[in-house]
Amino acid sequence: MNDGSSFRIATALRDWVATAPPGTRLPSTRALVAQHQASPVTVQKALRELAARGLIESRPGVGTFVRAARTARTVDYGWQTAALRAPQSRIQMVPTALRSVPNDVIALHAGYPDRELLPERLVRSALTRAARGDTALSRPPVAGLPELQSWFAHELGASSPVGVAPPTPGDVVVLPGSQSGLSSIFRALVTGGRPLLMESPTYWGAIAAAAQAGVRVIPVPTGPDGPDPADLDRAFAETGARLFYAQPTYANPTGAQWSTERAEQVLGVVRAHGAFLVEDDWARDFGIGTTPRPIAAHDDAGHVLYLRSLTKSVSPSLRIAAVIARGPARERILADRGAESLYVSGLLQAAALDVVTQPAWQTHLRGVREQLRTRRDLLVTCLRHHAPQAHIEAVPAGGLNLWLRLPDGTDLQQLTRDCERAGVLVAPGTDWFPAEATGAFLRLNYAGPNPSAYAEGARVLGEALDRSTP
């Protein structure tokens, strides 16, 4: 109901504003709350909407005012069309997985874990400590705080077998989120117009980063066992590509974890072509039934560029990730990061390091894994019961998502609209394909809020499938 009442208040306020002289102060939030019998959040939402339309302006600490009517003039930005020309590549703006939604819908579309899966107490106390520390007012080195570089290197190095040199702290470049790492890697190591091999389906953010970098994407089909090494070998040979982007552990969206043998085969193909594997280890903290086994730990010749993020497991506000790379590749990535943003906030780095070095962090992670197991199993059960038409190709051993194959010919647009109308948000699989989708897929996230609504969500999906299937 939240949405509805903020719309009602916004409409009432717009009428009021239309007759008020510019500069008139609006009633306080408290007064509006009383007048409209709504929550402060709802009133503020209405005010924000009016502000976004330029009808009112808030002066923080002073109040909210009717804007001068001088904004009424319509400005034509048509001249910009000539100046900007058609874009070199179209970047898809805000995919389903990033949508923010009201509290009362059943959100199976999201890409981020719900707050109850985050280490709230650890995050708040780490930030409070960091607020008192040196990093609150200083500038860290471009590559990151040495202590944090050391933590990232040690975490990966702990998986290195005997005979393989583990990464050193100097191999680590700290990032403001792994998305920035993808952008830098594609920009600095592939460069515009040249080929990039990607698993298909794969993370939509990687597809967006590739579009931004202006590289030519060559999809390599992947499934529950990972890509076929022969397919990969052929793609390298045919295109002259030098870089393959993949998620070998609990891949988003398929949930696939490559076997040790498959990982060795893929690494062998990459080596044979004198190429790089970008190992996006996004779900390192979200193993449920198996343990993550980073491929990067088996490579000391600089073939694997390893991406590790803390954003999803620690907090979306502590956007800290790292790329671990060796040789000239690492230098190019670092130079790109320097030009892009000079350095990463030292405060966020210090707070993230604080969280992951507390003994309670490991306890928290164990709890999260148990919760993910319960949630995953519950969603699987509900789907099998209420939406048997949706085929779960493989129950993932980790990660946050189920990947469903729907009956051939399912109208995905119709389906997602039907579900949304019934208060259930799902993500159409098309977002995860760098080219045409090879079927009708759906990604459902089992890390969102309110797992007790899974049964209802599955029921709505099952009914919508009945209507959308030919």
**Site for a copy of itself contains 470 (CB under 8 A):** no
Scanning the structure block, which residue is given the tokens 């996004």?
282
| Structure tokens that stand for 349 in this block | 């780095």
Q: Which is nearer to a copy of itself, 37 or 70 (CB)?
A: 70
**Site for a copy of itself contains 103 (CB under 8 A):** no
**Site for a copy of itself contains 80 (CB under 8 A):** yes
Residue 57, SS3 per DSSP: strand
Supply the minimum distance, in Å, between the C-beta of residue 117 and a copy of itself: 10
Cis peptide before 292 (omega within 30 of 0): no
Binds a copy of itself (CB under 8 A): choice among 191, 290, 413, 438: 191
CA distance 356 to 314: 8
Q: Which is nearer to a copy of itself, 344 or 419 (CB)?
A: 344
Site for a copy of itself in 358-397 (CB under 8 A): 358-359
In 238-343, the DSSP E strands lie at 243-246, 276-280, 304-309, 321-324
Least Cα distance to 429 among 259, 255, 271, 313 occurs for 255
Binds a copy of itself (CB under 8 A): choice among 18, 21, 75, 470: 75
- Which range of residues in 50-58, 281-289, 391-399, 462-470 is near a copy of itself by CB under 8 A? 50-58
Distance of CA 328 to the CA centre of its chain: 28
Ramachandran quadrant class, 92 (left: phi over 0; alpha: psi -120 to 50; beta: rest):
beta
**Site for a copy of itself contains 51 (CB under 8 A):** yes
Supply the minimum distance, in Å, between the C-beta of residue 382 and a copy of itself: 26
Q: Which is nearer to a copy of itself, 311 or 430 (CB)?
A: 311
**Site for a copy of itself contains 274 (CB under 8 A):** yes
- Which range of residues in 218-226, 288-296, 322-330, 397-405 is near a copy of itself by CB under 8 A? 322-330
C-alpha gyration radius of the chain: 24
Supply the minimum distance, in Å, between the C-beta of residue 154 and a copy of itself: 6
Q: Which is nearer to a copy of itself, 79 or 436 (CB)?
A: 79
- Tell me how far CA of residue 99 lies from CA of 96, 209, 231, 360, in angstroms: 5, 18, 34, 31
| Structure tokens that stand for 273 in this block | 């072509």
Identity of residue 405: R
Do residues 248 and 258 lie in contact, with contact meaning Cβ atoms separated by under 8 Å?
yes
Do residues 283 and 445 lie in contact, with contact meaning Cβ atoms separated by under 8 Å?
no
**Site for a copy of itself contains 272 (CB under 8 A):** no
Binds a copy of itself (CB under 8 A): choice among 71, 103, 363, 413: 71
**Site for a copy of itself contains 28 (CB under 8 A):** no
Q: What is the DSSP letter of 76?
A: -
Site for a copy of itself in 279-308 (CB under 8 A): 300-302
CA distance 260 to 244: 18
**Site for a copy of itself contains 233 (CB under 8 A):** no
**Site for a copy of itself contains 404 (CB under 8 A):** no
Site for a copy of itself in 144-183 (CB under 8 A): 146-147, 150-151, 153-154, 157, 162-166, 168-170, 176-177, 179-180, 183
**Site for a copy of itself contains 332 (CB under 8 A):** yes
